[in-house]
Chains A and B, each alone.
Chain A
Amino acid sequence: AQSVTQLGSHVSVSEGALVLLRCNYSSSVPPYLFWYVQYPNQGLQLLLKYTTGATLVKGINGFEAEFKKSETSFHLTKPSAHMSDAAEYFCAVSDRKVGSNSGYALNFGKGTSLLVTP
C-alpha cells in the first residue's frame, strides 16, 4: 500500500514568514496526492490535489504544492503566513489500484500542526 510521511509534527512560523510543510510518499505507481487542512473541532477541508498534468498545484488560501517524482515529495508552501493559517495539515495519497474497489481510499500522514506567532 502507498504511504505518506510528514516530517515534523509541529511547525512554528512568524506571521508573514514562509510556510513549508513537508510530505514524502512511497508508491509503486503514479500517485494521486492531496493536502487537507483541519481547523480545531472541525472536519477536513481539501486544500489542493495532484492527479495528473502540471506538477505545481495551486490551492485555496494561497497555498501551493509541487509534485517532485524524483524526490517522491509533495511539499506544501505559502509565501506569507497569516494567523488564520494556524491549523492541522494532513498529506494524503490515494491507494489507487486499477480495477480495485479500494482505489478511492486515502492513506493519511500523521499530520503537522502549524503554529503562527505574531
Chain B
Amino acid sequence: NAGVTQTPKFQVLKTGQSMTLQCAQDMNHEYMSWYRQDPGMGLRLIHYSVGAGITDQGEVPNGYNVSRSTTEDFPLRLLSAAPSQTSVYFCASSPGQGAWEQYFGPGTRLTVT
C-alpha cells in the first residue's frame, strides 16, 4: 500500500492563479480531509468528505473548493491564489466506522507570491 499520496511536493504560484492539489489513498478509507499547517497555528481543517459525493466545510474553507467523485481521490482546488494561502497542505484519510485515527500524506508546500 502506498497509503496517502500527495502531488506536487512543492509549488510556487502567482497571486490570482489557480491550481489543484492532488490527494489519493489506496486504503479504501471513507473519510478524507485537507488541513493547512502554518507556524504556531497547528493544523486547521479546510474541507472534509465522509464518502464519494459528500463534502463539507471545515474551519478555514474560504478560497478553496473540493469534490469527491471516487473513494480514492480528494483534490483541493485553489480558485484564485492569495499570499495568505502560502502554507503546507496535508491530506489525511480515516477508515471511519469507529476507527477514528487519521493517516496523513507527506504534504505539499505552497508559496504564493
Contacts and interface: CB of A to CB of B under 8 A. Distances in A.
Contact of B41 (A94, A107, A110): A110
A51 B97 CA distance: 13
Interface residues of B, number: 27
B103 interface: yes
B90 A105 contact: no
A110 B103 contact: no
A102 B42 contact: no
Name A's interface SS: mixed
Given A42-B106, A90-B42, A110-B40, A101 B101 contact: no
B74 interface: no
The 3 A-B pairs at the shortest CB distance, nearest first, are namely A43-B104, A108-B42, A110-B42
Interface of A: 9, 32, 34, 36, 42-46, 49, 51, 90, 94, 96, 101-102, 104-111
Contacts of B92: 44
B105 A34 contact: no
Interface string B34-46: 0100001111110
Given A34-B101, A46-B101, A104-B102, A90 B56 contact: no
